[in-house]
Amino acid sequence: MARRPPRKPLQLGRPSPIPASPAKAVLDRVANPHANTNYVARFTAPEFTTLCPITGQPDFAHLVIDYVPGRYCVESKSLKLYLNSFRNHGAFHEDCTVAIGKKLTALLKPKYLRIGGYWYPRGGMPIDVFWQTGKLPKDVWVPDQGVAPYRGRG
Measure the CA–CA gap between 34 and 24, rounded to whole angstroms: 30
pLDDT at position 147: 92
Whether 52 sits among the annotated catalytic residues: the reply is yes
Dihedral of CA 54/58/63/69: which sign? Answer: positive
> What's the half-sphere exposure (Cβ side, CA atoms, 13 Å) at 98?
6
Coil, helix or strand for 106?
Answer: helix
Q: Note whether 148 and 132 are within 8 A (CB).
A: no
Buried b (16+ CB within 10 A) or exposed e, 18-48: ebeebeebebbbeebeeeeebebbebebeeb
23-122 belongs to CATH 3.30.930.10: no
pLDDT confidence tier of residue 12, bands split at 50, 70 and 90: confident
| The one catalytic residue among 28, 59, 66, 73 | 59
* pLDDT tens digits along 51-89: 999 999 999 999 999 999 999 999 999 999 999 999 999
Mean pLDDT of 106-113: 98
Q: Where are the domains of the chain?
A: 23-122
Measure the CA–CA gap between 77 and 148, rounded to whole angstroms: 27
- 109: pLDDT strictly greater than 80: yes
Mean pLDDT of 118-133: 92
Measure the CA–CA gap between 71 and 61, rounded to whole angstroms: 29
* pLDDT tens digits along 89-105: 999 999 999 999 999 99
Whether 66 sits among the annotated catalytic residues: the reply is no
Please report, for residues 39, 100, 109, 110, the alpha-carbon distance to residue 34 in angstroms, rounded to integers and kept in the order given.
9, 24, 15, 13
